[in-house]
């Protein structure tokens, strides 16, 4: 399914595609491989990039979404709100659905977003000398992906 994107969403998707190619070229030149990327547009209008950080200790790994959100909080404030998140997942062949943010990331996006924060998920395939972005993408609000958000109980 080819989804309809607003101008703002389209702009973030285009930024994401350019950044995925740029970062993958850099990684390959240094012997690295493709990874999952996430891009966050904050309500300030700034874009923050993130890539999955993998650690040999599982709990040391951090998803691309949370790295991008961490950069947003570092440069702005905890009060900044996420308008849109775009993720791109490397795949060997087209999958029926693109990967969506994991449960922890859904919660962190929820905390730093609004119920209408948009999540756009896509896939890409490494070709001989380039990366192909599959036209099929999915689009959700964070409320759709995380309908029963965890809320900390407040004691008096």
Residue ranges that bind Zn ion, judged by CB under 5 A:
63, 102, 105
Q: How far apart are CA 10 and CA 16, in angstroms?
A: 10
To the nearest 10°, the Cα dihedral for 126, 128, 131, 134?
A: -70
Q: How far is the CB of 116 from Zn ion (least distance, A)?
A: 20
Q: How far is the CB of 49 from Zn ion (least distance, A)?
A: 15
Q: How far is the CB of 127 from Zn ion (least distance, A)?
A: 27
Closer residue to Zn ion in complex, CB, 53/102:
102
To the nearest 10°, the Cα dihedral for 76, 78, 83, 84?
A: 90
Closer residue to Zn ion in complex, CB, 13/67:
67
User: Cβ distance 63 to 105 under 8 Å?
Assistant: yes
Q: How far is the CB of 94 from Zn ion (least distance, A)?
A: 22
Closer residue to Zn ion in complex, CB, 11/145:
145
Coil, strand, or helix at residue 55?
coil
Which residue sits closest to Zn ion, CB atoms considered? 63
Provide the token pair at 70: 């961490």
Q: How far apart are CA 111 and CA 67, in angstroms?
A: 15
Closer residue to Zn ion in complex, CB, 6/53:
53
């Amino acid at each position: 399914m080819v989804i309809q994107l607003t101008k703002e969403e389209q702009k973030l998707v285009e930024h994401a595609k350019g950044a995925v190619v740029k970062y993958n070229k850099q990684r390959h030149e240094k012997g690295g491989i493709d990874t999952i990327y996430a891009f966050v547009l904050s309500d300030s209008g700034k874009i923050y990039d993130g890539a999955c950080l993998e650690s040999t200790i599982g709990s040391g790994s951090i998803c691309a979404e949370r790295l991008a959100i961490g950069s947003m909080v570092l440069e702005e404030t905890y009060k900044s709100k996420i308008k849109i998140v775009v993720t791109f997942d490397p795949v060997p062949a087209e999958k029926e659905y693109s990967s969506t943010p994991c449960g922890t990331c859904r919660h962190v996006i929820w905390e730093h977003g609004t119920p209408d924060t948009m999540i756009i998920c896509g896939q890409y395939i490494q070709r001989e000398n380039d990366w192909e972005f599959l036209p099929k993408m999915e689009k959700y609000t964070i409320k759709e992906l995380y309908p029963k958000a965890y809320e900390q109980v407040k004691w008096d």
